[in-house]
Chains A and B, each alone.
Chain A
Amino acid sequence: MDTPMIALLEQRLERLRKQPRAIRFAARNPVLVAGAFLLLGMLALAVFAPWIASHDPTEMNVVERLKPPSAEFLLGTDALGRDIFSRTLYGARVSLLVGVSVAMFSALIGIFVGTVAGFSRLADKLIMRVMDGMMAIPGILLAVALMTLIHASVATVVIAIALPEIPRVVRLVRSLVLTIREQPYIQAAQATGTRLPLVLIRHVIPNLMTPLIVQASFIWASAMIFEAYLSFLGAGTPPEVPSWGNMMAEGRSVVQLAFGIILYPGIALGLTVLAVNLVGDGLRDLLDPRIARKL
């Protein structure tokens, strides 16, 4: 028999349980769901850009320079008469591409190098010194140097932004591998004769996934902002490739005439980075509150 208070609660829970599973999932981790929706929205904008955009993003008509938002140019035009609305949409593609590929690139290399460092004492010494060396050089300098010295393209931007992130991922992976290596289930696997590479792939790496996914989401977010910094310092993605970063960088000299050039891509970038950060936080709390929180 329940006290009236518990009985009352019971009915409310009953009603809650009738809701579809999705809504209950959303109620439990609002941060993740909000972030995911926002991110899907941005991804949709990027994917459907050609159909939504009103103009070709690279097409200049110089007569229409620096026009305020109008029927024809929804968000106005930039210093070379290009439509800001279309460029913001297409910019989503480049910025998201840069963000994702930097995250993937640094995560993959990070896993490989980190695991090797974690498992072989000899390699560990060498790798960690090189990593310390790379971390000692401020990330943005490494990126600007790379960008100005190698032929600028979206690919080089990705490499330039990913390189300074790799040491951080390697350090994280190495520390995780060192703890996982001591776990009994690893020793058990080795005891049953499974060869090292198999142990790595089947046992070690899956356990890295949780903190790595969370770290990758933060790298994804900071990479997009990093790209804006690179363009700001004059070493970013090529001018004719629209990305939020170089739109804002180009727009900064005319910001007092038409702040829309910085405002709209800024909002888009802000929202996307916010979305990715929210997803990162949500994943962290959902997947593995204990290990992930160590970040």
Chain B
Amino acid sequence: MRMPTLFRNSILTVCLLSGTVLVSQPAFAATIHMIPQGDLKILDPIQNPGYITRNHGYMIYDTLFAQNAAGVVKPQMVDGWTVSADKKSWSFKLRDGLKWSDGSPVTAADCVASLKRWGAKDVSGRLLFAAIGDIKAVDASNFSITLKAPFGPVLEMLGKPSSNVPFMMPERIAATDPNEQIKETIGSGPFVFKRDEWVPGNKVVYIKNPLYVPRKEPSDGLAGGKVVKVDRVEWNYIPDQNTALTAFRNGEMDIYELPPADFIPTLTTDANIKLAADPLGNQGWLRPNHLAAPFDNPKARQALYFLVNQGEYLAAAGFPEAYRHKTCMAYFMCGSLNESSSGAAPYAGGKDLEKAKKLLQEAGYKGEKIVVLTPSEPPVQAAAAMVTVQNLKKAGVNVEAQAMDWSTLLARRSKKDGWHIFHTFSVGADVFSPAVNAYAQANCDKAPSGWPCDTKLEELRAAWVAESDTTKRKAITDDLQKRMYEVVPYVNFGQFFQPMAYRNTLSGVLNVGVPVMWNIEKK
């Protein structure tokens, strides 16, 4: 059958056309293709604490201070700062020559406005601003903070590494209400967000920020000089994990931010693939609903400790031995500055279903239905929920596993009733200190879902942030953790290391738990 003429002509014209187009496309020196952990949906790192939005923040924004690899806070946009003897009044001087991506200079007023917006939303920000009497810009490149109450970790807060990072934005943008999404994406970070090439759900594009002036020092953790060695970065979101792995192994992608745990063994065997994991690791959270019987009684919550065998949870999530931390009873991450073992003694024996059953009876549990929210995605939370359901069943609890997708879970848990347990996990940087650990809050209704309520725990937290001397703070940490073991705001179901995978065509990949693109060179 003769090919219909229409069809034949269209092919010819297209070939000619495509020939010319290829030539005119701008050839980039080097482009990094990354498979992000998720689809970038929200561009406001203050309004939304999601890690994908935080990573977007690190691309286009800069911070006053930043934590180096050892966890010590180093200046970034700040040139120098002074603090009064009584640690009450602080003044900061900005580095000169800092510019926004639209060319306008960075002023102290911008920083003050950004800090205020961050302070209104972030967990530790709220603690800091509760202690601040006055914060104002002295002149174009100096601003001062005067405390009205003692607050130790001021610098640690300004250099907070994760969730709701205090990114600096131009004043007019920082003036937006923290609960409303910012409209523009102007930052002073190493990259510029190419809004016109953004295809939500598929592709996010950043190009090198020509106006960015990195610090002189070599890059160290999130601090130091953020030198950009590539021209363009593309985040290519691949919804299907199997396709993502195949594409990455075929070399179509350079970086695979969050490969599912089960893929780690196959990736390690591949010669031209390297893995880099955040040394601190992540912590799994089993969160009971403090308002739903029987978990309104501390005894019932304490019974949960006897249900958790951390190795079992991490194995179910698929993490190989090398990426699981041995059972860690510290609430503030094993291997962190605030690691402590106080209060863990009664539960050192690990999983003991009989003790759990006994404690539940003592708490007055008479067999009513316990609802565990079980998401189908993401994999770690899904696996953890299934393990808890099974252990509760084995402990004779009348448990119902209600299945749903992650968005429904967020909705269901924001309601005070209708659920008893859900699971999530957090990056070590959001867990390792009482100031940043959101789920350690016990301020009743103001706390995130689960709503722990305990004045003593709040007092200890307030005392912790007020203390600036590290040794005294250590003692407060121990008391605080002991109290947490009594109040049980959440149960730690395991510390694990989530590696990022990248191909050996890249060098200089930083190992900080956040997929930062500076310092990376592509052969």
Task: Give per-residue flags for A233-262: 1 if the beta carbon is below 8 A from chain B beta carbons, else 0.
Answer: 011111111000010010011111100000
**A252 and B240 form a contact (CB under 8 A):** yes
User: In the complex, are the beta carbons of A65 and B266 less than 8 A apart?
Assistant: no
Q: Is B405 an interface residue (CB 8 A)?
A: yes
Q: Smallest distance from the beta carbon of B498 to chain A beta carbons, Å?
A: 15
Contact of B402 among A81, A149, A151 (CB under 8 A): A151
Q: Which residue of the partner chain, among A58, A148, A253, contacts B408 with CB atoms under 8 Å? A: A148
Contact between A238 and B240, CB atoms less than 8 A apart: no
**A63 in contact (CB, < 8 A):** yes
The answer to whether A63 touches B260, judged by C-beta atoms less than 8 angstroms apart, is: no
Contact (Cβ within 8 A) B312 A62: yes
- In the complex, which of the residues B260, B376, B408 has the most CB atoms of chain A within 10 Å of its own CB atom? B376
Instruction: Name the B residues within 8 Å of A268 (CB-CB).
Output: none
Interface string of A73-104 (1 = CB under 8 A from B): 00000011100000000000000000000000
Question: Does B377 lie within 8 Å of A234, measured CB to CB?
Answer: yes
Q: Is A46 an interface residue (CB 8 A)?
A: no
B389 touches which one: A234, A235, A240, A257 (CB < 8 A)? A240
A240:B246 contact, CB within 8 angstroms: no
7 shortest interchain CB distances as A-B pairs: A238-B403, A253-B241, A62-B315, A62-B316, A152-B403, A254-B262, A252-B242
A66: Cβ under 8 A from any B Cβ:
yes
Min C-beta distance of A284 to chain B, whole Å: 31
B contact residues around A241 at 8 Å (CB): 403
Q: Which of A80, A152, A257 contacts B386 (CB 8 A)?
A: A80
- Contact of A234 with B376 in the complex, beta carbons under 8 Å: yes
The answer to the question of A108 belonging to the interface, with a C-beta cut-off of 8 Å to chain B, is no
> A240 CA to B242 CA in the complex, in Å?
22
- In the complex, whether B105 has a CB less than 8 A from a CB of chain A is no
Q: Is A60 an interface residue (CB 8 A)?
A: yes
Q: Are B401 and A238 in contact (CB under 8 A)?
A: yes
CA distance A246 to B312 in the complex (A): 23
* Complex interface: chain A residues within 8 A of B386 (CB): 60, 80, 239-240
CB distance from A134 to the nearest CB of B (A): 23
Q: Which residues of A contact B403 (CB under 8 A)?
A: 152-153, 237-241
Whether a CB of chain A sits under 8 angstroms from the CB of B32 is no
Q: Mark B355-375, 1 if CB is under 8 A from A, else 0.
A: 000000000000000000010
User: Which bracket fits the contact residues of B?
Assistant: 20 to 34
Q: Say whether B379 faces chain A, with CB atoms less than 8 Å apart.
A: yes
Inter-chain contacts of A235 with B (CB < 8 A): 376, 405
Known A238-B402, A241-B403, A253-B242; further 9 A-B contacts with Cβ < 8 A: A60-B387, A79-B383, A80-B316, A80-B383, A148-B404, A148-B408, A238-B401, A239-B382, A254-B260
CB under 8 Å from chain A, chain B span 217-275: 240-242, 245-246, 260, 262-263, 265-266
Q: Whole-angstrom distance between the alpha carbons of A240 and B386 in the complex?
A: 8
A235 to B387, CA, bound (A): 21
Interface string of B10-48 (1 = CB under 8 A from A): 000000000000000000000000000000000000000
- What count of chain A residues pass the 8 Å CB interface test? 32
- Return chain B residues, CB-CB under 8 Å to A153: 403
A151→B404 contact, CB < 8 A: yes
Contact A253 to B379, CB < 8 A, known contacts A238-B403, A239-B403:
yes
CA distance A238 to B382 in the complex (A): 11
| Cα–Cα distance between A235 and B312 once the two chains are bound (Å) | 27
A133-170 toward B: CB 8 Å interface, digit per residue (1/0)? 00000000000000011011100000000000000000
Beta-carbon contacts of A261-285 to B below 8 Å, as 1s and 0s? 0000000000000000000000000
B262 engages A253 (CB within 8 Å): yes
Q: B455 contacts the other chain (Cβ, under 8 Å)? A: no
CA A254 to CA B383, docked complex, whole Å: 14
The CA-CA distance from A148 to B246 in the complex, in Å, is 29
Give chain A's interface residues, CB within 8 Å of chain B.
58-60, 62-63, 65-66, 79-81, 148-149, 151-153, 231, 234-241, 246, 249, 252-257
Which residue in A58, A79, A148, A240 is a CB contact (below 8 Å) of B318?
A: A79
Q: Which residues of B contact A238 (CB under 8 A)?
A: 374, 401-403
Q: Kindly provide the distance from the CB of A138 to the nearest chain B CB, expressed in whole angstroms.
A: 17
Using Cβ atoms and an 8 Å threshold, which residues of chain A touch B265? Answer: 257
Q: What separation, in Å, do the CA atoms of A59 and B390 have in the docked complex?
A: 8
Chain A neighbourhood of B245, CB < 8 A? 256
Say if the beta carbon of B407 comes within 8 Å of chain A.
yes
CA distance A235 to B406 in the complex (A): 10
* B401 partner, pick from A80, A81, A240, beta carbons under 8 A: A240
Give 27 A-B contacts (CB < 8 Å), ordered by A residue. Answer: A58-B390, A60-B316, A60-B386, A60-B387, A60-B390, A62-B312, A65-B315, A65-B318, A79-B262, A148-B408, A149-B408, A152-B402, A234-B376, A234-B377, A236-B376, A238-B403, A239-B374, A239-B401, A240-B374, A240-B389, A252-B242, A253-B379, A254-B260, A254-B262, A255-B242, A256-B242, A256-B266
Q: Which of A151, A153, A246, A253 has the most CB of B within 10 A?
A: A253
A240 to B312, CA, bound (A): 18
Q: How far is B446's CA from A288's CA once the two chains are assembled, in angstroms?
A: 68
Q: B201 to nearest A CB, angstroms?
A: 13
Within 8 A of A (CB), among B375-434: 376-377, 379, 382-383, 386-387, 389-390, 401-405, 407-408
Least CB separation from B241: chain A residue: A253
**Across the interface, do A256 and B246 meet the contact criterion of CB distance under 8 Å?**
yes
Bound complex: CA of A218 vs CA of B245, how far in Å? 35
Contact A257-B266, Cβ < 8 Å, known A234-B376, A239-B403, A252-B242: yes
Chain A residues near B383: list those with CB within 8 A.
79-80
Q: Which of A62, A66, A148, A256 has the most CB of B within 10 A?
A: A62
Q: Which residue of A lies closest to B260 (CB)?
A: A253
Looking across the interface, which residue of chain A has its beta carbon closest to that of B309? Answer: A62
CB-CB under 8 A from B379, the residues of chain A are 253
> Can you name the residue of chain B whose Cβ is closest to the Cβ of A253?
B241
> Given the complex, which residues of B lie within 8 Å of A63, measured CB to CB?
315
A229 to chain B, nearest CB (A): 13
Shortest A13–chain B CB gap in Å is 44
CB pair B402–A252 under 8 Å, yes or no, is: no
Q: Which residues of A contact B408 (CB under 8 A)?
A: 148-149
- Closest residue of chain A to B249, judged by CB? A256
Which residues of chain A have C-beta atoms less than 8 A from B405's C-beta? 148, 234-235
Q: Is the CB of A252 within 8 A of B401?
A: no
CB distance from A262 to the nearest CB of B (A): 9
Interface string of B65-94 (1 = CB under 8 A from A): 000000000000000000000000000000
Complex interface: chain B residues within 8 A of A239 (CB): 374, 376, 382, 386, 401, 403
Annotate B125-146 by CB proximity to A: 1 below 8 A, 0 otherwise. Answer: 0000000000000000000000
